[in-house]
Structures are given as C-alpha cells and as structure tokens.
Amino acid sequence: MKLLPRTIRARMIAGLLVLLALSCAVLGVATSLAMDRFLLGRIDQQLAGYGAEFAASLEHGEDTRGQARNTFGARLVAGRVTQAAVVSREAALPVQLSSQDKQALAALPVGGPPETVDLSALDDYRVRAVPGRDGDVLITGLSLHGVEEAVARLQLLELSMFTGTLAVAGVAGAVWVRLSLRPLQRIATTARKVSELPLASGEVTLGERVPDTDPRTETGLVGAAFNRMLGHVESALARRHAVEQRLRSFAADASHELRTPLASIRGHAELALRDRGPMSDDVRHALNRIDAESGRMSELVDELLLLVRLDEGRPLAREEVDLTRLAIEATGDARAASPGHLWRLALPEDPVTVTGDPLRLHQVLANLLSNAGVHTPDGTTVTVAVRRLPAGVEVSVSDDGPGIPPGLSEEIFERFARADPGRSRATGGAGLGLAIVRAVMAAHGGSVNMRSRPGRTEFRLLLPG
C-alpha cells in the first residue's frame, strides 16, 4: 500500500496509464491472435492445395519439383512411420524422427482438419493426414516458422508503438491533469494560508478567498462553499474578539476599582486588630478573617491585572536572569511553605542565564512549586531541574505524586481551571497560577507543557537561549 501514489494528481495519471496499458495489452493480444489465425488459415489452404503428393512420392522416390521448400512428408503403414522427409532445394532429405514425433504423427486423425505438431528434429509444423491408396496414411506438413516470425514481428512492433503511446500519453496526461486540477490547487493554497494565520486569539482578518467559484464546475462549487465557510469563520472570530475585548476591559476596570476598597478594608481591619482595648475572641477572629480574605482578594486582583497586561502585549523587563539562582530561591521558599515535602535541585555546575523579566520568571517557578506543594500529599518528592539545550534552556518541575486526571490535562492552563473541582476556595487558589505561567512564558517567546501519569507529573519550561 505504501507504493500507491498519494496525491490525486498522481493517482489520476497512474489510473490513466494503467487503463491505457490494459487497453494496449488487450489490443495487442487480440491482433496477435487474429494474425495467427489468419496465417494458419492460409497454411491450411496451402495444405489442402498440395494434397498428399509429396508424401506419396516418398514410397517410389519420385521428383519433388513443384513442392514448396521445407514441406514435410511422412508415410505411415500400420500406424508406424516408414518414411519421413523434408523438401530442401527441391530435393527430399530424410528426417530422423524421435519416438515422440512418431507417436504424435501416428495420433493424427486421418482425414481430419490440420493440426499443429512440434517436431523435435525440425520445428513447429502444420500437418494433415489423409488415407493413401495402398491402405497407408500420408502426412503432409508446412513449417510454421514464417507464421511465428510474422506474429513475433507484429508483437515487437506493437510493443514499440504502445510504449511510445504510453510515454506520450503520460506526459500529455500529466499536463492535462495539472491544468484540470489547478483550481483545486488554488483552494489548497488558500486553505494553507488560512491555516498559517494565528487564529487562537486576537483580532483576525481572513482576507484570503478562492478565486474559482464557477457554479458550473465541481471545483467552483467547492471554492464557493469554502469562501462562504471562511466568511462565517471570520464573523465568528470577530465576535469572539469583541467578547474577549469586553471581558478584558471588564477585568481591568474591575481590578482597578477593587484595589482601593480592598486596601481600605485591609487597612481598617489591621487598625482594629491593633486596638489594645477589650475585644471578644469572636470579634478578633472575624477581623483576622477579614484581613486574610481581603489579602487573598488583593492577590487575585493583582493576578487579573497581570493577565490583562500580558494579553495586551505590554513589554516585560529585559535583563539577564540567572535561572539557577531563581530555582534555588524559589525552592527555598517552597520548602519553608511545605516542610512535609522533599525538595530536590538538579542544577548544572555553571550558571544558566537568559534574557527576561526576573520578577515574572520567579513568579512562574513559585506558581509551579506552590501547586506541587498544595496538590500532592506530604512525603512527595519534588525536583527542580535546569539544563541548557541546543535550542535554548529547559526548566522542569516534577513530582512523584498521584498525578493530574487525564480529563484535565488539556484545560489545566486555562483561567480559573481547578485540578480538583470539589476543593474549597479556602484551601486553594483561584485557578490563575498556571494561566499566568503560560502567559509569562509566551511573553518571553517560550512555552510550557505538561506530562502526567500516576507517580510522575512534570512541567517543562522552554526558554530561548
């Protein structure tokens, strides 16, 4: 199956050549058989005209003048060959027949139609047996060498002609198929250009259209349908972009508006907690919860504002960042926050540096390590590794915890995604950590991917070197 052509153009040309070759083969076989039958008919007519004169002359040694060259004659008495000769330069030359030749001649039907016999001492002959006057059987035959040679020449001529025809048909067919499939090629070119556009996010304008829209042709119908589909896709992308812009504006405006009241709430809560006057335990606990929750809300607002800035493409800081130092600092913070885990570092001897925003890259590592500490049980080993690759720098965070459910692997980097939907908000974040990781990596020209199975979860950060 791998040898079959893949493209429509190649399949059409191959199919055309196969059909033409089959037609030539059938025509060649038919003409060869017709020529062979025609020439055999002529030989049979000659045999009928010659009669049995030459075979009868063998008994008495009469003159062979008037007999065609290579004419074969034989005389059978009581089913046994007594004489056998062939005409050569108007003289009869005796022929030594093998036992198989004699059996074949003896088996000929007397008075029946001519038959073809392969005589080992001579060649293929067309022979006919007739009864003689003395109760013997006289056999006369004509050589089929001329017939076979004529048929062979015809077949060679046909082979040459058919080969040339196939070559010309192949070239002409390739040109014709290429011209016929040109509209389809333009559709494929348009589709490829559209597929190369960044359709995942942002404003997208699909200016590409198929020029062939003639409703009288199949490719024209496909082109018109494809253009309508592109129009629908462009409208859908425009609506999606408008919705995203409104959501981003809302998130930015809401975050800015929430910052001031949240700061005020935290300030009043801290001020109340500093009061040394009498205060019941319930009131103090409520003030502590107000202070903690307002702090969490402030972090959420900061994360939303960061995502909005990254979505808008605002530039980040560009300076030399030592990733090995970042890994050490982030791992130390995670060890202090989750002392029940085993934290390991796999760092090269020499520092690994990249150009980027140190604050945001530290936030990326902190988010990954925080997730590992929160979503895995105590005793889990978490390893942070940094290494330089030919194409850049790789930072990986892996753990031997229970893993991430397969159904969440595709949406784990989406905003507000949660690995455990039943987990309370009090014990986990808002689901923006990995979204920030992906956005920060994209802003640095890098990428992040995740592989997870029970006992092994790994996040790989790739940064240009």
In contact, 376 and 404? CB cutoff 8 Å: no
Per-domain boundaries in the chain: 1-50+145-180, 52-143, 186-314, 319-464
Question: Around Cβ 234, how many Cβ atoms within 10 Å?
Answer: 15
In whole numbers, what is the pLDDT of the chain averaged over residues?
81
Does domain 319-464 fall into CATH 3.30.565.10?
Answer: yes
SS3 for 364?
helix
Q: Which residues contact 221 (CB under 8 A, 6 or more apart)?
A: 215
Q: For residues 454 and 457, what is the distance between their CA atoms, to the nearest angstrom?
A: 8
Length of the chain: 465
User: Model confidence over 123-180: pLDDT tens digits?
Assistant: 888 899 898 887 888 888 888 888 889 999 998 998 899 888 888 888 888 888 788 7
In contact, 174 and 166? CB cutoff 8 Å: no
User: Model confidence over 374-428: pLDDT tens digits?
Assistant: 889 999 999 999 999 888 899 999 999 898 887 776 678 776 665 554 444 444 5
| Measured CA distances, 300 to 57, 232, 247, 287, 425 (Å) | 125, 37, 16, 20, 12
- Whether residue 311 has pLDDT greater than 60: yes
Tokens matching residue 217:
């042709």
Cα 353 vs. chain centroid, distance in angstroms? 40
Only one residue has tokens 């056998």, namely 84
Query: What local confidence, expressed as pLDDT, does residue 74 receive?
Result: 87
User: Model confidence over 94-127: pLDDT tens digits?
Assistant: 888 888 888 888 888 888 888 888 888 788 888 9
Q: Which residues contact 321 (CB under 8 A, 6 or more apart)?
A: 353, 354, 355, 356, 357, 358, 361
SS3 for 387?
strand
Phi and psi for 244 in degrees, rounded to 5? -60, -40
In contact, 137 and 74? CB cutoff 8 Å: no
Residue 127, beta-bridge partner list: 115, 141
Query: What local confidence, expressed as pLDDT, does residue 426 receive?
Result: 45
What is the 8-class DSSP label of residue 35? Answer: H
pTM of the model: 0.49
